[in-house]
Structure 1
Amino acid sequence: MASRQRKIERIISQLHLTLSRSYGRSSGHILNKRWPLCHCMTRWEPKTYSTSSSFNGFYETAQRFRRSSRLKTGKSASQQDNQADQATKSNNVESEIEKHIAEIETELNTLTQKSIKLEKSKRLKHLAEGAMLLLWLYFIYMVYKMDLADMVDKMNKDSLIQPEKGDVTFNDVIGIDEVKEELETVVSYLKDPQKYTRLGANMPKGLLMTGPPGCGKTFLAKATAGEANVNFYYISASSLEDKYVGTGAKRLREVFNVAKKNSPSVVFIDEVDSIGSNRMSQSMDRSFAYQTLHQLLVELDGFENNSGVVVIAATNRHDVLDWALTRPGRFDMVVSVPLPNVKEREDMFVYYLSKVRHDSSLDINQLARSTLGCSGADISNIVNQAAFQAARAGETEVNMGHLEYAKEKIRDGQLKAHKLDQETINIIAVREAAYALVAYYSKFGIPLNKTSILMRGNNIGLSKKILTKLLPEGHSDMVSSNKDQVLAKLDFLMAGRAAESMIFGKDNVMKGSGKTLEEATNLARAYVSKYGMSEKAGTRIFSSKEEALASPEYQDMLNEEINRLLKEAYKRADEVLQSHKKELLMLADNLKKYETLNKEDVKTLLKGEQLKR
């Protein structure tokens, strides 16, 4: 009986615990309503689980009754009947208790499963709440970190912006002596500002350098700061354009503030056209991008006279700059940095060749004359590519052949190993021989340099451009041409078509010379409408728009003059080729054999001698 009592007490205690987890303090009421007999056997306490005295008395009475029935066997039958009734009632109560215990155990299992599910859901809810709390704390930390970084940036921005070392001077700049003379004024002011201020002169706030790419504008700005021995601050204008509005203007303010604190100094803005283009030529959709330009205008206006800060900007497109940027008071001085002339190119070749092992017999003057239109960066690249070619060939030094190869590779493209059929080779050889022959016998044209049938770059198949190269003589670049030289250039351009007609027949001319004929047509049009060299058209110059709107009579006259010039040039070229037909075929045969002939080779062949190769 004691074990059963303990079992009942344990089950009821578990039931109370489960109900309290699910329903709280109302668990006793639910137990009384659901199983009233159980409530009779126990008293619900909120904090304790103990059996009632009635339950103990019930079992004690049953135990006393059994003991007395065993001791008093001689009692009357009526008493025995009463005792039998009480035993029957006790058995009924016990069976009822067992029945309730089974129900309690079943319900206890159900409530336990529900309690487990509820506990899991509560744990998941707590985990989700904890994760959200961690994310929120991380967000607060990142915001605090960014604010702290901004604070540090504001506190230490002067130390974050450092000037570049001015380790170059005007002695390191080759050529462009006229530009250096203009920059000497800026250097003199930065060295001794009192020399100008005591006379009442104010130094220009800005200096704008213009010119083709690779002419050394950035190098000149560094040399200016190095010559004056002042701080040099470099700004790439493209880096001021950021996806966040106002970032470029903020960066510009910081650089100028640091430059003012550390004056005298030079602030150099490279490729200023990326932020300083004309606002009227752009749509208003990009108005937000002009904040950097507006900040630059304000900074240039905000300088005090003789503040010791000089702003130098560089651009390749001076024509697209906003007029407010180039007006007096901002960029007062405009310095044009041109391409180097032949003498300056010689000096550049000498300088860059001194850095590589080269043949002492190099013809530097020929290299300079054959690189008309090349910048200092181009010449540096030519020498570097020649050194690479010499290394690939296993040579110990750079020779003239390596430099010629590098020059043609950079200017015309990589040599193509394109397999051409024999008919195409014959046509190209005759055409290039004709160009070389007319150039050689021309009185006013540019002298011949070399002729070749090798294809480079996209110049594949029938020649899209003339492969024969000309070379100015002397130490002067031909920046202008007189009337005879223009007509000689027309003869040169018409030589290829004239040779095709003469050798292969007028019905067998090829389309390969079409590009050359287009160039000849444009030159003839410029002769009439731009150069004012035509006696019939006069010196009246027409722009392309005016020419399109000109009267029909003028347009007819223009076409007649262009056709006349082309026909006369064709006739002169044909006369030269007809009189030297034998030499033409001989040059073509040697081109097919050797692929490339220089000026000396052509002279040797035209003298009737054989090449020694």
Structure 2
Amino acid sequence: MKHRMTSAAFKEVKKRPGVMLAYFLIRRALKPTCQFRGGAAGLMIVIVDKSWFPRFERAGELLFSGQARAFFNAETSMHRVVSKQFGSKKAVGLDLLTYNAQTIVLTDNIEALSPSVRIAADATVTVEKPTARHLNAVRKLALRPCLDATTAEAVAGEDWDMIEALVCRYSLADVNFETLHMAKDSNASEGPRLSELPGFEPVREWVSKLATDLSAWRKKSLAWSALDKAALLAGPPGVGKTMFAKALAAELGVTLVSTSAGRWQSAGDGHLGNMLRAMQESFHEARSKSPALLFIDEIDSVGNREHRSSLNAFYETQVVNQFLELTSTAADWPGVILLAATNRPGDIEPAIFRSGRFEQYIELGLPASDERAAILAYHLGSISPELLTPLTEHLEGLTPADLERLARAAKRVAREYGRNVEFADVEASMPALTKLDDASLLRIATHECGHALVAIASRFVDIVTVKLKDTIVEGSLQSAGSVTCDFKEHALPTEQFLRAKIRIALAGMAAEDVVQQDRSVGGAGILGSDLDEATRLATRMVVSFGMGDSPRFEIDYRRVNESYRPPGHLRSEVDRILREEWHRAKHELNKHRGKLNELAAKLVSERQLKMRN
């Protein structure tokens, strides 16, 4: 292997800075091998960036011969460069028994090569990005001014596309590396930044820390291993998980690589090899575009080795194993941030949550009243949230996607009148409201006061605020009442505390049963309802906290959601806890039935009550 190029080759390569840089980098990667140091025969696999593949092919030939024009004949030459890109149908014609030859096999992914080629390789190296010294050497040969150390390191930290764009730019004095992503032809520059969007409160703390640490990493003052750079979002459809991924990429100034388990499964003819290949391509695409955010939707579809399905066990196990291997490996790839999303966290392979993978688990719920107004105002673009609050306070249960749909409807109304959207257009687009009759108001007041009385009696609550309104969205199961409990601080909740929360949640329906001897659908039927809260909490007590008949652990408490179904023998323990707290709530309300009736009548009259322990 030549260590020097001829003057003719040097003269030619100076005209091609990209090939020159590739030559420097492939030379650095192969330098530790005995083929480079001592000219020994052997096969070397060199893994390079896909977008620079042609440059590395030329650089490999130049490294072997040192000639301006280098052609290698497999029959006559002692040197040879062959290439195989991932996904290519091209066959690699290699005689692995050519004992006296030096051969470079160039690829963008080790999986593109057959097992026999991988086994035969004397060395496998990965060509890393250039250093500041490499960049300045190329700039000097290209008759460009040398960069100062800080600027050169900043360029070296960019992805291959940006290095290509900047390495021969005459002056970089006016380049702002904090906002450089805005110049990229990528999804990172599309759409609003997260800081410009309302909502997403549960995830903002993680984003803030990540943005600070990412900035420090870009400035070379923080190691990549110090960043918390992987998170899993869970929440019902419509809460904005995909929008969040786009806004996060824009906020961080990184390229968005968006994919899903469904997209991997639909690759090719859906066979296992195609699925695994598509998965690898997504991860390697994110690595090649570093810094990048790899967003994986429908992560629950990757599979779960605990499901034990005899029909798909082999397929599912292979998919899960490769996904776990890729996520662990990607944790060491500088500049690659992982974000996954699911509607069904209970179906996710438990190993995905382990340290070094998706350590951050964040639940996105339905927006509160003030968030609903802010989200609707954002999509309207011309009306303040304060003006919209009277409209959105009736919209419990609506997702951000539902609010965006209402904004589109209001704009459509405005277009029909040939004007910008006005408050009247928004009002006309709201769901129809139903005014409650006196009997329904009293029932709802009884329900809410039942919650309040049992909360105060539990001794775990200091103050309870109860509110009542006289309208609900037509055809919905939303409640016209609400209760806010100020629980005493509990750093380590006990079994009695958790049982009290279940009892309080069930007390609304229990109050209706005590006073009206009949229960309505209020407090049940939808996610986030009283009954959902009580059932989920009792389930966690049994399957996660060891508070059932046996002190056992079945599943992480964070995975107990609407998609989780406990085994039958544990479900009976959940039912027992619910029955016991249901009867305790009824017993407490029967003792204070007079007080319950008095408070309900007062709430109907005043529409708001505050009770203290």
TM-score, normalised relative to structure 1 = 0.47
| Structure 1 or 2: more helix by fraction | 1
TM-score, normalised relative to structure 2 = 0.47
Q: Bigger radius of gyration, 1 or 2? A: 1
